[in-house]
Amino acid sequence: MSTTPHDGPTGTSPESSRENDLPAAMERPRADAPAVHPGDTMADPLADPGLPAHQPRPTDVDPRLERRAERQVATLFGLSSVFAVLFVISYFVFNIGPKPTIIAGYGAANIALGVCLGMAFLLIGVGAIQWARKLMSDVEMVEMRHPAASSDEDREAAISSVMAGIDDSGIARRPLIRNSLLGALGTAALAPLIVLRDLGPVPGDKLAHTVWKKGMRLTNDVAGTPIKPEDMEIGQLVNGEPAIFYAKKADGEPVIEGTELNQAKAKAAIIIVRMRPEDITPAKDREDWGVAGILCFSKICTHVGCPISLWEQQTHHLLCPCHQSTFDLGDNGKVIFGPAGRSLPQLPITVDSEGYLVAQSDFTEPVGPSYWERG
């Protein structure tokens, strides 16, 4: 692309623009320009160098080189397909999660997925550049300045040059390139589709349940020690967890660990509070959900899921620090202030044969924020 030698500087006034539009022979001298006298000869400092003579490329004149370039481009697109397929294979072959496949100290999945996808797109780009440089039309074009809004004729001309460009690319004449490019784009599009699998599977009824079940002991969430009613004073709040988080299998390995443990913790965290029994007004079906003034609630706020344990002993209110939802634990965890949409779920508890606090069942409703499937 080239510009005309008389383009005005940016920011010139309309008047000076008009002056720039004058033919060179009619231009007025600037006030500070040196005086020109008849007979002076001045070389034009901005002489238009013009365009150099057109040099055809080797592929324009040698059909053998042209075919070779065509094969090179197709090879690049073909290699792109290979890397896209390797991406998909790596996705299934290399483990991630708690026991990832490690090669040379690095996570194999990350490296293989990144390299393969990067190469797949890079090779498409390099192939397209080679195609344009070696095989598409090689003509110099001059774009003259014109008003910002194009005229209808110009738009039509633009559309026809796009169509001519498509013609020039030879996509119809070169089925090898066209098909290999389509193959490369198709297989590269597969890669992001495959990783969508990580969003699933759909949760099913997982959101409605926690690991709590009948007879599971309530434990202190710091040491995992089980709790007896006599361990708690009136007004006290204990952050708790289910005993299964501390349980071991016969071989000494934890029963739940890794991601599964973290997911279970996020749902099963509880607070245990002790009040005077006369300060509690249990709902009709909850008369036997506590033990001697000890009640157990989910620790997860029903607004957007912050963990809560700001406890006001005198009022029996539990305050969420995130958006100040306030729940009355003496009144079945009812919301008395703030944006939470429903009561704090309560875990029915009792004591086992050894006198430790245990759950009577899982929570009877989903814990945490509301979600769309919640009936």
Ranges assigned E (strand) in 221-346: 237-242, 270-274, 294-298, 310-312, 317-319, 326-328, 334-337
230, HSE (Cβ side, Cα atoms, 13 Å): 2
Strand-pair category, 310-312 with 317-319:
antiparallel
Q: C-beta of 363: minimal distance to ligand FES in Å?
A: 18
Return the amino acid letter for 373.
E
Site for ligand FES in 286-305 (CB under 6 A): 301, 303-304
Nearer to ligand FES, 254 or 369 (CB): 369
Letters for 244-273 (x = contact with ligand FES by CB under 6 A, - = none) are ------------------------------
Helix, strand or coil for residue 326? Answer: strand
Q: C-beta of 302: minimal distance to ligand FES in Å?
A: 8
Number of residues that bind ligand FES (CB under 6 A): 11
Nearer to ligand FES, 183 or 338 (CB): 338
Q: C-beta of 304: minimal distance to ligand FES in Å?
A: 4
Q: C-beta of 86: minimal distance to ligand FES in Å?
A: 44
> What is the C-alpha to C-alpha distance for residues 313 and 293, in angstroms, rounded to an integer?
13
Question: ω before 348 within 30° of 0 (cis)?
Answer: no
List, in order, residues 6 or more apart from 238 with CB less than 8 Å away: 220, 227, 232, 271, 272, 273
Nearer to ligand FES, 87 or 297 (CB): 297
Q: Is residue 340 involved in binding ligand FES (CB under 6 A)? A: yes
Q: C-beta of 326: minimal distance to ligand FES in Å?
A: 9
Q: Which one of residues 122, 208, 306, 351 is an interface residue with ligand FES (CB under 6 A)?
A: 306
Site for ligand FES in 178-237 (CB under 6 A): none
Q: C-beta of 297: minimal distance to ligand FES in Å?
A: 13
Nearer to ligand FES, 272 or 320 (CB): 320
Sheet with 218-220, side-by-side order of all strands: 218-220, 237-242, 270-274, 294-298
Nearer to ligand FES, 188 or 301 (CB): 301
Site for ligand FES in 315-334 (CB under 6 A): 320, 322-323, 325
* CA angle (117 as vertex; 115, 123 as ends), nearest 5: 95
Closest CA to 127 of 76, 70, 165: 76
Helix, strand or coil for residue 371? Answer: coil
Alpha helices in the chain (DSSP H): 14-21, 58-61, 63-93, 108-134, 152-169, 175-195, 258-268
Binding part of the chain for ligand FES, among 201-209, 224-232, 257-265, 336-344 by CB under 6 A, reads 336-344
Q: Which one of residues 338, 342, 351, 356 is an interface residue with ligand FES (CB under 6 A)?
A: 338
Binding part of the chain for ligand FES, among 9-17, 110-118, 121-129, 335-343 by CB under 6 A, reads 335-343
Q: C-beta of 262: minimal distance to ligand FES in Å?
A: 19
Letters for 10-29 (x = contact with ligand FES by CB under 6 A, - = none) are --------------------
List, in order, residues 6 or more apart from 244 with CB less than 8 Å away: 211, 216, 255, 256, 264
Q: Is residue 335 involved in binding ligand FES (CB under 6 A)? A: no
Q: C-beta of 312: minimal distance to ligand FES in Å?
A: 15
Write out 3-67 in H/E/C secondary structure: CCCCCCCCCCCHHHHHHHHCCHHHCCCCCCCCCCCCCCCCCCCCCCCCCCCCCCCHHHHCHHHHH
Residue ranges binding ligand FES (CB under 6 A):
301, 303-304, 306, 320, 322-323, 325, 338-340
